Structure 1
Amino acid sequence: MLFDRRREPAVAGGPRMLRILIVAADGGTAWRHALADGEARAGWECAGPLALAKRLGRLYGLRGEPASHAERVSAYAARLALLDDGGRSFSASRAKDPFGVAAFLVGFRDLLRAAGWDGGPLAGSPRLADLAAAERLSGPGLSPLPSGLADVYAALLAEIERASSLPEPLALQVAAPDAALDPIVRRVLTALAVRGAAVEPAAPEEPAAPESTDLGRLQRALLSSTGAAPAAPLANDGTVLVLEADSPLEAGELTAAYLATRPLADATLVAGADAGALEATLARHALPALGVTERSRRRPALQVLPLRLALAFAPRDPFRAAELLMLPVTPIPWDARRRLLDALVEQPGIGSPAWRKAVEDAAAHEAARARAERPDDPDAAREAERRLRERIETWFGGVAHDPAIGLPAPDAVQLCESVARWAEARARAGEAPDPVLQAAAHVARTLERLVAEQPPGTRFPPVQLEQLHDVAAGAGMDGGAPGEAGRAAIAHEPGAVHAPAREVVWWGFLGGDPGPSPEPWTAAERAALRSSGVSVPEPGARRGAEAAGWRRPVLAARDRLVLVRWRLDGAAPTVAHPLGDEIAARFERALASVTVTSEAALAGAARHVAPARSDRAPAPEVTPRGVFNVPPDLVSTDRLSPSSLEKLLGCPVAWVLEHAAGLRRRGMARIPSGNRLLGTFAHALLEDLLHGPERLDLATATPDDAASRAGRAFDARVAQEAAPLVARGAEVQRHRAREVVCDAARALFGLLQDGGWRVRGVEEELRGTLDGAALEGYADLVLEKDGVPAVVDLKLARAKYYREKLQDGEALQVALYAELTRTKGVLPPTGYFLIGQGELLTVDRGAFPGTRARELSGPTMQATVDGAREALRFWRAALRRGVVSSRREELREASELEAGEAAGCPAPASGPGAMDPPCKYCEYDAVCAVELREVAR
């Protein structure tokens, strides 16, 4: 055993003895099995390198805890900035990534300090000389480099060697091989032993299981020398098991089913990759929480700072703004968030007309709320409005800096300080401090300090600021529940299993990226370091210690070893653990004979694992539903718009959910992009060109004048109203979009001049009735000539779609706009102007002369209006009887038949009432139909 449980502290009246079990890694509770069941031992503790430094620091009156990684990287970056003359070994890399280089080199520096380097001159290579120069650098305003763990041990070593005796009796038992501990740690242990500490070296590795079992054979094989022929396969006696599934979630279910039948108090669990999946599964099975959820910097409160920093650069990304507004914790009140999100959907850019209107509306709402809550305070409304405007400006305004030049350090400090103040105030607002918000405030304060420490005049490009934020945030913060009583002992890595246990379960028995070499020195550097008294490890020593750590879970198991792995990491196959390759070299068929798959366990074909299964019959098959019944008084069709009427005739289910129930999908997914973005922006530019404050005169300007004016307007407004087009990497799309807008302006201007039309209005509000229902909407473009109006609808793409709508008599929206502008009983001419093609489609012959108009054969607009009136009458009759029908293709015939029975007449067979349902673009398709897709393996 690694520790003699029978050894007790001195008897009463004797000297006090502090006993420390020294292991290779900090954290975890694998030490629990070094104590007898239920034993509580005073004066005994288990310590990794960090915990040992803290304990010895308290004994010797020194600071035993190193500074944070963020502080050290920032300070080293400042040191390298002063040292860099352009000719250093790191100069070229530092020009591209100063903080990445600082983190890399401070790691090298710490390796040397841990190997015994005292900071003196070094030779052997330019980088060693540069490391020594950075260490000796001094000057006004340059503070000492904050201590790392190796520096803490160096200070402890100096204090131990200075003292002639121990502060109190010590008994140190080492449970880690020499190669797993840094040379500076071993020197401290030697110095303690010289002054009277009882230091017991690591015991030789020995098998813990009987030789007759699979586990005993495996342990002895791993301890034997290599080169022998592979032994016979494992006998599958249950002492070694491999649990295997496709995904971490499936593996978690299999593991939880296994652990539910085992004595957890006697087990050690190695929490390897994706421990969060196992933690979630244990909770579902009502098993004790392990408290091993991974650290993450993606928790919502921790995202506020990087999103705010991203919005400090031009062009401000509307997607980042939407992310900030959609976080569960955000500085903006809910009503204002909703309005601002809607503005981003309408015009994706901060500062657009829609954004400014949203700010005004939100401020008015906030003032009204304050006025209602404090009617006796005449200044309440004004103050509430001021605070909201100031808050929106703080989080979304200010100067937008050029990313190529960078954000000035004082501005970055101010942004960090504002985020920190907000998070600190929110953290204190509840009954108990919020740890996530406290962590967010800490990251913001840390980044604020790191930025402030950089040389005067420093500017931070976006990538560099992100890197510095990652340094400040580290691995993020823990989440999930803390560990609960009754759980297994926890080891956070294989080498941390240092005490024998009845069972060892290794979760995440998978390989991965081995990372950079822990021995990065060339032969010349190694020789130079040794001549300077720096005892760097022999080549392969650290990798050998890592391989020995992999064997620890196997050797520590007395009764059973369970290895858990999965086949897929997302869509990619996982990598086998290197220890599996070693086992494969020693046994025929490796671990195949002891592997239990999730499929075999569920089928009841596994010998040693029997997950709980239910005999309950499966739920009935989910079938599509074509008709819904609702109380008639909940659905009103008294007020409609052309677009809502088109949705009603296309699918009453979708219309009821959107317009009667008020259900809408919100959020970032609806921010327009591609053709949808360009269509909205082009609409605004063309409409302003024809009817805005700076409109061109159709009588005097030329089509080329219109194209030139449209191009200038595009350049001036694109960053605010269509920001995705100015994002990095969108240069080609932006150039193409500008060409489309200019060509469309030229064509539309020429079309109007050829026909002698003048513009009566854009987005003109129209009102009227259809079959007794109030109808109102906004027409894109209303023209007039000799007192006769015309209606033109602007569309970007899908020329074939709109051509077919006109030819089939289903151009409902433009027909209804014509109905609402009807004068003297005559339906005015109408058409679709296709922005992308620069042509107008119409069925009204002779109304739009010139080469830019294309006349199609199809029903008249009057026939389309009559068809819409008939269809509206039909569906209103069905809705008045509470029948809401889906027009999805596979449900259409039966649902329309039932609707016809309710309405007392058959559904329309042609025209707008028979157009195809909009299922392809429907947001509510899951209500009427369910699609089950098999996932290919």
Structure 2
Amino acid sequence: MQIEFGWSLDGTAWADGAGATGRVRMGPRALVQLLQTRLALTRPSVDPAVRVAQYSRAVAVADHPWARDSFEADPWSTATTLLSWRDAAVAAGAQLRGAGALPERIDALCAIEEQRTVAAPAPGAADDLREIVDLLADDVSWPLGIEVLQCHEVPDHLPGLWPRLLTLLEDAGVRIEQLAPAATGRPELTVIEAEDEWTAAETAARVLAGREGAPLQVLAGTDTVILDQELHRRGLPALGVAEAAADRTALQILPLFLSIAVDPVDVQQLASFLDLRVMDAPEDGRDHVGLVPARVRTRLLDALADEPGVGGPAWQRALAALEVDEKVSDGGLAFARTLSDLVTTPIPPAALTPSRLRAAVEPLGARLRALGQGDPGLTRASAHLQVLLDVLETMDPDRALAPRELSQIVEASGGRASSPFARPEATTAWRTCSRPAQLRPRGGDVLWWGADREDAHTGVVWDSVEIEALTALGADILEPARLAALTTDAGLRGLRGAERIIVVRTRRRAQKATAPNALLAHLAAERAAPGEGVADVLAQLTLSPGETLIDGRFELAGSRRPLQRPAPTRIPPPPEDLTRQVDPAPHLVPRSLSYSQTEDLLGCRQKWTYRNGLQIRAASVATVPTGNRMVGSLVHAVVEELVNTAESEDRSGPPSGERIREEITAQVPRLASELQLPGREVELATMREQTVRSLVEFFDRLGAAGLVITSVESKFAEPLTLRLRRGDVTVPFTGYRDVLAEDAAGDPTVIDLKWTYAAKKYPDLFDTGEALQLASYAWSLHEDHADVGYYLLSQGEFVAANPALDPHGRPTLDIADLWSRGTRGMTDALDAIGEGRVDARSGQILLDAGQDLSTSRSDAKKTYESARATARAEGALVVDARCDFCEFALLCGMRGDAS
């Protein structure tokens, strides 16, 4: 075997070895692996995270005073850093053993190394190199099968143990040859700089498309995802260069699972886990495959949408429904039970031990294995889990882990996963590599994609005293500048072997400014006249993408391609009329109506048609309550429980502030569990005290007004007849009355509870006679003397005509007139929808006023106030459907690119 060896050649394909049988190109790591195989030194690989965990035990046993405080504060990071220093010292040739007075850092490394017999970390790459050197030094006459080792670098200029290794190989019969510098001239250099990656990709794709089969080497200094899209547009194969990363989907499964296994449970994370799809659907399937079976996912997500917490009535009802659902498999039901047990009894942070974690992740491992069946993403997720289990196996099973330490361990266990875009496609004309040193010095052209500056990797930096100590321990420490020069010289050798270099780069990438690769400065310096700066030379060699277009053709560095300028496309203006005229749809009649549907019919008929007529809904994961809606549901439940338990608590008067506070605390895990997350303590405490003050005021004011609560959250379903042009339709009008009370005469009062920071909205609706929700509640009672009002929970104020509740002297709400206007609006909307004329009224009001979704909320409110006043004068109603929050704004045309 003949080996071409270079310090920067790791990652080079064996096929790059000049095409001759038995000749390969190798870097340091590849050569070590080959020698391990030939010398029978191979061993199972050990994940870096496992080595850190093992080394952490050695650090703890050594208990060196220099590292003690850091290790106690952050054991994982400290062990990781110490291990990297230890490996660097071993690779440099140091024998880490105590030898008199040493610098503190070196002394700590030696003290830890002496504990290898007690807590031995698995060997790493540095140990592999040391083991080979030690074995060859014992005069082993094992046949290596290597005839010639041709070195790009001078052996004595290599760092650490490498000069010694090459000498031992020569003693073992391997002929070591110094490769003479290739006869390279000064390649022609052209730099194309674009403002953005899309323009750069288009230019690079034109270069490749215009080669007409001529050989070319592609040096991909960054990922080629966008370039590959441009190549596909031209019918060319993708280069498929994309770096591995730690944020791939496969590596997010385990962290997401652990986030719901540790107390407190984040219901938003739980919803994300339930909705996580990990495999594409089979060809005959309707849904993508998720970690959680589809029917289980739907039931539990609906429960979270009702109650954003776990373990409450909605969650239990969902589990009970799954138990009797014949379409749920035994495995799916078992996973649902396990998941429920996990999130209803999560691991307390104080009990976050390796043994508890191993038990918690066991069902995830079983589920991944059941679904995997060779799927690369799930196989990678299973490997992530297995590494975590291996790390936990090295630890004391009862040692408590801090949440931050667990997060570090999980991240380190995942490593980096390959990109789904890293899929090169077959091509014979181009050879692709990712580093300049990997270029074959065979002349021809090189297209350098993404020639951006890279940070130099100079390894661990030791001070002069430490270098002296390590040298005494057998190390050969190379200066950082000389180490960086090895990489620079290797890159320049590869580039100078080309006849022409075409650089295509962008001035900005990922919204950050970029700088040219340092190797371009070296190439430019060779062309600089006396007194001329490198920047000036590069500026002379740089073209913009527009300068490559000559007489309607693309021409650059031998690549030519005809271009056709498309006719300019005029982007249509946003629609002026949001009304959709479609075929008549008399079948779109509601099976039942509620106030929320009434709002949609009056405010935006398109919204009702999409949501209720066509049943287009947001995904369940997007409907899990949060913010004001979550807090409002919580306070509603608190009021309901306080009223319903008054008799059992033998309480005749209003509840005390302490009783209200207790009930809030009891309901938070079921209805607002996200407020228990770390960092939200102030928000929870503020909400609790604000609610206590508000509810004390609520019950006291009702009592002072002589009102007695008779029911809360009382459901009603009253028949409503709508006289449509195509015939009368009777549907149930349904809803829940928040609070129903009676005065001494038995006359009812309905109070609707609102948690909102829009303090003027509901008083304005009441004062202008447009509080349709209150009118619907009063209508459902069929009482002539029913009174109505709002209670604003966050402000602690009533909005009502009863002066005992609200001293502002508000007018009595005309229930009959308001309900009549509301039913007339519903009838008109359903008539129009049945005839195929569907408008977006709220959006149209904005457009008619020359406004859109970018209009400030204060200006939009003025527009709606004017529209409401006009409608009142005509005996109609206008409802602000809040287009800025509507999930259908893209469908109606209010949001999105009109082109």
Q: TM-score, normalised by structure 2?
A: 0.87
The range that moved more, 273-282 or 108-117, is: 273-282
Picking from 191, 209, 217, the partner of 1:242 is: 191
User: Deviation per CA, 1:519-552, whole angstroms, max 9, x where unpaired?
Assistant: 4101101112222321111242222223334534
Per-residue deviation, 1:666: 1.9
Unmatched 5+ stretches in structure 1:
1-17, 210-214, 216-238, 371-379, 896-905
Match of 1:925 among 863, 876, 889: 889
Q: Of 260, 270, 280, which aligns to 2:209? A: 260
Q: Would the alpha carbon gap of residues 848 and 891 (structure 1) be closer, same or farther in structure 2, given more than 3 Å must change?
A: closer
2:783 is the counterpart of 1:830 = no
1:849 aligns with 2:804: yes
**Per-residue deviation, 1:745:** 1.0
The answer to whether the Cα contact below 8 Å between 1:170 and 1:197 also exists between their aligned partners in 2 is yes
Which amino acid counterpart does residue 572 of structure 2 have in structure 1?
A: E
Asked whether the 8 Å contact 1:300–1:328 carries over to 2, the reply is: no
Map 1:707-722 → 2, pairs under 5 A: 707-722=657-672
Aligned to 1:571: 511
Distance 1:397 1:196 in 2: 68
Structure 1 residues 29 and 682, CA gap change in structure 2 (3 angstroms):
same
Matches within 5 A, 1:77-88: 77-84=56-63, 87-88=64-65
Q: For the Cα contact (< 8 Å) 2:7–2:487, is it kept in 1?
A: no
Once the two structures are superposed, the pairs formed by residues 483-882 of structure 1 within 5 Å of their partners are 483-486=424-427, 488-497=430-439, 499-514=441-456, 517-558=458-499, 560-580=500-520, 583=524, 586-587=533-534, 589-598=536-545, 608=556, 612-616=563-567, 618=569, 621=572, 623-624=574-575, 625-666=578-619, 668-692=621-645, 699-701=652-654, 705-772=655-722, 773-774=730-731, 775-785=733-743, 786-797=745-756, 798-823=758-783, 826=784, 828-842=786-800, 844=801, 847=802, 849-850=804-805, 854-857=808-811, 860-882=814-836
1:859 shift after superposition = 5.4
CA contact (8 A) 1:266 1:503 kept: yes
Is residue 110 of structure 2 the alignment partner of residue 170 of structure 1?
A: no
Asked whether the equivalents of residues 347 and 356 of structure 2 are also in contact (C-alpha less than 8 Å), the reply is no
Aligned position for 1:434:
375
8 Å contact from structure 1 (residues 166, 192) kept in 2: no
Superposed displacement of residue 819, structure 1 = 0.8
- Separation in 2, partners of 1:925, 1:696: 49
Q: State the 1:398 CA deviation.
A: 3.8
Whether the aligned pair in 1 keeps the contact of 2:155 and 2:162 (CA below 8 Å) is no
Q: CA deviation at 1:915?
A: 3.2
Alignment correspondent of 1:916: 880
3-state SS of 1:590 partner? helix
Distance 2:335 2:171 in 1: 68
Given residue 95 of structure 2, which amino acid in structure 1 is its aligned partner?
D
Q: Closer, same or farther in 2 for the Cα pair 1:315/1:281, shift >3 Å?
A: farther
Q: How does 1:274-285 map to 2 (within 5 A)?
A: 274-285=223-234
TM-fit CA distance, 1:677: 2.4
- Relative to structure 1, the CA distance from residue 893 to residue 695 in structure 2 (aligned partners, 3 Å threshold; closer, same or farther) is farther
User: Are positions 1:286 and 2:235 aligned together?
Assistant: yes
> Quick check: 1:114–1:183 contact (8 Å CA) kept in 2?
yes
Identity %: 27
Equivalent pairs counted in the alignment come to 841
Would you say 1:342 and 2:293 are equivalent positions? Answer: no
Q: What is the CA deviation profile of residues 163-202 of structure 1, one whole-angstrom value per residue up to 9, with x for unaligned ones?
A: 2474435211123565985432332222111232121224
Residues 1:833 and 1:508: Cα distance change in structure 2 (over 3 Å): same
Q: Bigger shift: 199-208 or 774-783? A: 199-208
Instruction: Report how far residue 389 of structure 1 moved.
Output: 4.1
The 8 Å contact of residues 508 and 514 in structure 2, kept in 1 or not, is answered as yes
> Do the aligned partners of residues 916 and 398 (structure 1) sit closer, same or farther apart at CA in structure 2, a change above 3 Å counting?
closer
Which residue identity does 2:794 align to in structure 1? G
Cα distance in 1, alignment partners of residues 238 and 648 from structure 2: 68
Cα distance in 2 between the residues matched to 1:602 and 1:672: 55
| Conserved? CA contact 2:243–2:422, under 8 Å | no
Distance 1:118 1:175 in 2: 28
Counterpart Cα distance in 2 of 1:534 and 1:394: 55
Q: Is the 8 A contact 2:456 2:484 kept in 1?
A: no
Q: Distance in 2 between matches of 1:889 and 1:561?
A: 55
Q: CA deviation at 1:640?
A: 0.9
The 3-state SS of whatever aligns with 1:682 is: helix
Letter of the structure 2 residue corresponding to residue 849 of structure 1: A
Q: Distance in 2 between matches of 1:818 and 1:164?
A: 100
Q: Measure, in 2, the Cα distance between the counterparts of 1:345 and 1:245.
A: 48
Q: Which residue of 2 aligns with 1:228?
A: none
Pairing partner for 1:50 from 22, 29, 46:
29
SS class of match (2:761) = helix
Q: Residues of 1 paired with 2:322 and 2:549: CA distance? A: 56
Distance 2:393 2:298 in 1: 35
**Structure 2 CA distance, aligned partners of 1:385 and 1:435?**
22
CA, structure 1 residues 591+675, in 2 after alignment: closer, same or farther (shift >3 Å)? same
Go from structure 1 to structure 2 and tell me whether the alpha carbon gap of 1:566 and 1:64 turns closer, same or farther (over 3 Å shift).
farther
Contact 2:182-2:441 within 8 A present in 1 as well: no
Alpha-carbon contact 2:277-2:291 (below 8 Å) kept: no
Structure 1: distance between partners of 2:553 and 2:681: 59
Structure 1 pair 158–19 and aligned structure 2 pair: CA distance change class (3 A): same
Deviations, residues 691-743 of structure 1 (Å, cap 9, x unaligned): 35777777434xxx432212112223323421221222212211210112101
1:12 is aligned to none
Shift in Å at residue 69 of structure 1? 1.6
Q: Which residue of 1 aligns with 2:390?
A: 449
Q: Offset at 1:635?
A: 0.9
Amino acid at match of 1:493: R
Change (3 A) 1:528 1:574: same
Contact 1:34 1:499 in 2 (8 A): no
- Counterparts of 1:763 and 1:912, CA distance in 2: 30
What are the residue-to-residue correspondences of 1:112-261 with 2, within 5 Å? 112-121=89-98, 123-139=101-117, 142=119, 144-161=120-137, 162-164=139-141, 166-176=143-153, 181-204=158-181, 207-209=184-186, 215=187, 239-261=188-210
Contact 1:783–1:790 (CA under 8 A) maintained in structure 2: yes
Segment of structure 1 superposing worse, 596-605 or 435-444: 596-605
Amino acid at match of 1:761: S
| Distance across 2 between alignment mates of 1:178 and 1:690 | 86
CA offsets 1:91-136 (integer angstroms, 9 cap, x no match): 2222222222222111111111111123333553111111112212
Q: 1:547 to 1:671 in 2, by over 3 A?
A: farther
Q: Distance in 2 between matches of 1:64 and 1:48?
A: 20
Opposite residue 925 of structure 1, the aligned amino acid is A
Q: 2:265, 2:674 within 8 Å by CA — same for their partners in 1?
A: no
1:596-619: CA deviations, max 9, x gaps?
A: 434556896975276855525527
Q: Assess, with a 3 A threshold, how the Cα gap between structure 1 residues 694 and 47 changes in structure 2: closer, same or farther.
A: farther
The equivalent of 2:86 in structure 1 is: 109
Question: Which residue is equivalent to 1:6?
Answer: none
Shift in CA distance, 307/241, structure 1 to aligned 2, threshold 3 Å: same
Secondary structure at the counterpart of residue 589 of structure 1: helix
One-letter amino acid of the structure 2 residue matched with residue 637 of structure 1: P
Question: Does the CA-based 8 Å contact 2:193-2:505 persist in structure 1?
Answer: yes
Would you say 1:425 and 2:425 are equivalent positions? no
Within 1, Cα distance between the matches of 2:179 and 2:127? 25
TM-score using structure 1 length: 0.83
Matched position secondary structure for 2:432: strand
Cα gap change, 1:737 to 1:784, in 2 (>3 Å):
same
Pairwise CA distance, 1:590: 3.5
**Contact 2:737–2:752 (Cα < 8 Å) also in 1:** yes
Displacement of 1:283 after TM fit? 3.9
